[in-house]
Amino acid sequence: GYTNRRDGSHVVREIHEPEAVVVRRIFQMAADGKGLQKIAKALTAEGVPGPRGHGWSLTGVREMLHREGYRGTLVYGKTRWIDKGGTKKKVDVPETEWITTAAEHLRIVPETLWKAANDRMARTYAVYLRQNNGQLHGKPESGLESNYLLSGFLKCGVCGGSLVVIRRSGKQRRT
């Protein structure tokens, strides 16, 4: 969504409008209920160039939807390098130490669209089934478009928990 232009002794970041259109489209698709994989597959199928010039990945779409810069906010200092036994190692910095700066001239996504997409993703994340150790286990009940009519409707008659179907692929044998 951005391009860098050298301006004398420093570099200026500017919005690259053809890419910004794709960024806004990704946010709109997420707000409309499309999942990360559906967004990535749709963009790849349409031949939209990805961030690295070829197809789109689920992780790339996720990273874009969480990037604060698209809403006109720059965050500095999320990581720093420390010397660990003679070698440098990158470490995460606590959020309380981050430096946040407003950069309205770099806003690509309107705040209403940013909020709609991120609220929808938060609702979806909250309904994923989890095991006691926090590991994901199952499909969300709602919030995403589904190819299956009855997704999210089946409940256990005893505990009220959601029922899921796990489809195995490949040539695994049960003994």
pLDDT in tens, 46-98: 988 888 877 898 899 999 999 999 999 989 999 999 988 889 999 999 999 99
Compute and round to an integer the Cα radius of gyration of the chain.
Answer: 21
SS3 82: strand
User: How far is residue 121's CA from residue 131's CA, in Å, rounded to a whole number?
Assistant: 20
Find out whether 81 and 97 touch, Cβ atoms under 8 Å.
Answer: no
Length of the chain: 175
- pLDDT of residue 143 exceeding 60, the answer is no
Question: Which carries the bigger pLDDT value, residue 28 or residue 147?
Answer: 28
Q: What is the pLDDT of residue 123?
A: 82
- pLDDT greater than 70 at residue 151: no
- Confidence grade of residue 26 (pLDDT, cut at 50, 70, 90): very high
Given a cut of 80, is residue 108 above it in pLDDT? Answer: yes
Mean pLDDT of the residues in the chain = 82
pLDDT at 171 (0 to 100): 62
**Per-position DSSP letters for 147-161, written without gaps between them:** SSTTTTT-B-TTT-P
Cα–Cα distance, 53 to 60 (Å, whole number):
12
- Two tokens at 146? 């589904």
Query: What is each CA distance from 173 to 156, 167, 168, 169, in whole angstroms?
Result: 28, 13, 10, 11
Question: In angstroms, rounded to a whole number, what is the distance separating the alpha carbons of residues 131 and 138?
Answer: 9
Per-residue pLDDT at 141 exceeds 60? no
